[in-house]
Amino acid sequence: MLTTVEQRIARLRAEIEQHNERYYTLDDPLISDAEFDALFRELQLLEAQHPELLTPDSPTQRVGGKPLEQFASVRHEHPMLSIRTETDIGDNGAINFDNRVRRDLRLGSADAPVGYVAELKFDGLAISLRYEHGLLVQAATRGDGETGENVTQNVRTVRQIPLRLTSATPPAVLEVRGEIYMKRTDFECFNRRAAAAGEKTFVNPRNAAAGSIRQLDPALAARRPLSFFAYGLGATQGWDIPATHSQILDALAAYGLPVCEERVIAQGAAQLLAFHRRIETQRSRMPFDIDGVVYKVNNLALQAQLGFVSREPRWAVAHKFAAEEATTTISAIEVQVGRTGALTPVARLMPVFVGGVTVTNATLHNEEELRRKDIRIHDTVIVRRAGDVIPEVVRVLLERRPVHAQEFIMPQYCPVCGAHVIKLPDEAVWRCSGGLFCAAQRKQALLHFASRRALDIEGLGEKLVDQLVDQQWVQTPADLYKIDLSTLAQLERMGEKSAQNVLDAIAHSKHTTLARFIYALGIRNVGEATAKELARHFATLDNFMAADETRLQYVADIGPVVAQSITTFFAEPHNREVIAQLRAAGVHWPEQLDAAIAVLPLRGKIFVLTGTLAAMSREDAKEKLEALGARVTGSVSQKTNYVVAGAESGSKLAKAQELGIAVLDEQQFLHLLKESGMQ
């Protein structure tokens, strides 16, 4: 029998959840905020006095817990698949989809129309909620569709999401798929408060929703006004799944999950198109952002019959709206330097409201695109924005061009670091040649330098690099080797043990190879394979740095573009200075071995591996060949010297025989390795 305290706690929880639904879901509150706060404080007090009565589904558990070190991974029992987007955003979008469905179901013109459900395409963050026996036990992001991030603590703070389903006999497992979003009014209020407090603001509601869920402090998520709509299922156990998608949505709503009421059951393409047209006219008046509608075959048996293609369901499609456009003028054109050194011209616009936000900047992509559209400063232009896409200038209204309109000229020097700006023959983009020194490229350069196939500094990930650069403690890769324990330990989420692990990894990275070091420099167009060829050919770093474009093109597979990228990189004194600092810090490799490359037994020979080897994996075979000076490629050509053919060899073996290239079976290959000194 329940005690008086237990009864009061149960009544308070039920009453608070009822008021949460009226306030957050129905937008029809029954009591004032002060009255609600009084009920909430009473519940908090009773639970504090009787901690044994606290349950995970109590409304007080939405306030957030301790900050997380990182998100754990969650493997989805049923993959969270993406829905195909209909590329024809006109009227044909619905017709094309209906035609495909009817064709795949082998329906003729005399057969009845297919039944669909038409819903809104929300502009938020896809989420999966797992309920076990009615209790919310896990929430995960989509991730790559197979594996997402465990964001349960943050999702618990979303008041529209029930912590317990409203059912006396809930399923053993019910996995609900849906979208977390932020209403426009909530977004505007949140940004105003954040700006007033000097905190980060967001560009649009979608970024605000995603950023709130994907940050590590649940207490911060609890203070952000997020909402939720359910729109589908994942895994289920102990539940008789309804026969149609529309019945599933009704069942989810009956369990207390918010389901958008703006949905219809449609018969055939004409009714789908009518829904699309109606919603598009109402789009700007909706309280949240959408960028289209979604069509789904209603009958689940037909869904199963249609199946999937390329991991997309054949029975569903997203029919987007046409991009929104507006007219404004260009007040200036400036250049932004991206993290890879690309220079992008950006139009500074007179503020204009388009696509749900006020736009003040628009990308001009590159110089060639700017010239093709003949965009000039002070022009009147059409600006387009679709969903979360960066606004762009569609075209110039030449009839409105003023006499003082000015042509834009790309700068010759990087506006961030002052290095020379270059454009390679096969590229449309101008790039800064500052590389290791340029502040705009700093974070990307450091992440590449520390990556597994470069200097392999374990633990030096994106978040740590962000902090090191933002604190201005690290400006070039050479600065990594100057960091001490006390400096690292000051950083967020970085205790003394974690800091020491990173320092140990940095120290270990000093012992590397010339090929890895060349790759780590991040020279444009120099990938891992090219770095190995350069190391083999030049043997020492000094030889490599001294090579001109002609000498560089003696190296296998290096043409004029790659040669120019390399010489341009070393022409910048800043880059040479960073390399000198790295060597002074103790980064080294066995030069005596590199100098012996010229006499490696398989130097210059090109191998192709095909089929399965019994004695070793293909990757092991590749490493052994490369250690002997050979180069391993993925395709057979006239330049190939040997093809190593294991069991079940296919087209590569046939092509080698056709071209008369030497073919080694596994025993012959092992003998070659032994004769070359490889045990």
Q: Which residues are catalytic?
A: 121
The answer to whether residues 395 and 379 touch, using CB atoms and an 8 Å cutoff, is no
Do residues 664 and 608 make contact, with C-beta atoms less than 8 angstroms apart?
A: no
**630 close to 606: Cβ distance less than 8 angstroms:** yes
How many Å apart are CA 223 and CA 213, to the nearest integer? 11
Contact 449, 470 (CB under 8 A): no
Contact 606, 641 (CB under 8 A): yes
Q: Strand runs (DSSP E) across 187-341, as ranges?
A: 227-237, 264-267, 290-297, 308-309, 312-313, 316-320, 324-337
* Interatomic CA distance for residues 135 and 126, integer angstroms: 20
Rounded Cα gap, residues 404 and 427, in angstroms: 31
- Within 8 A by CB and 6+ apart from 337, the residues are 343, 344, 414, 415, 416, 432, 438, 440, 441
Instruction: List, in order, residues 6 or more apart from 340 with CB less than 8 Å away.
Output: 431, 441, 444
Contact 131, 170 (CB under 8 A): yes
- Of 382, 365, 375, 370, the C-alpha closest to 405 is 375
In terms of residues, how long is the chain?
Answer: 679
Farthest-apart Cα atoms in the chain, separation: 92
- What's the CA angle centered on 281, arms 277 and 285, to 5 degrees? 140
Phi, psi angles (nearest 5°) of residue 373: -85, -5
Instruction: For 211-227, give the secondary structure using H, E and C.
Output: HHHCCCCHHHHHCCCCE
Please write down the HEC assignment for all residues of 343-377. Answer: EEEEEEEEEEEECCEEEEEEECCCHHHHHHHCCCE
Amino acid at 370: L
Rounded distance, CA 344 to CA 386, Å? Answer: 20
Q: How far is it, in rounded angstroms, from Cα 217 to Cα 197?
A: 18
The span from the CA of 154 to the CA of 221, in Å, is: 6
Tell me which H or E stretch contains 659: helix 651-659
CB atoms within 10 A of CB 78: 12
CA dist., res. 306 & res. 315, Å (int): 6
DSSP 479: G
Strands 264-267 and 312-313: unpaired
User: Which run of H or E residues covers position 421?
Assistant: strand 421-422
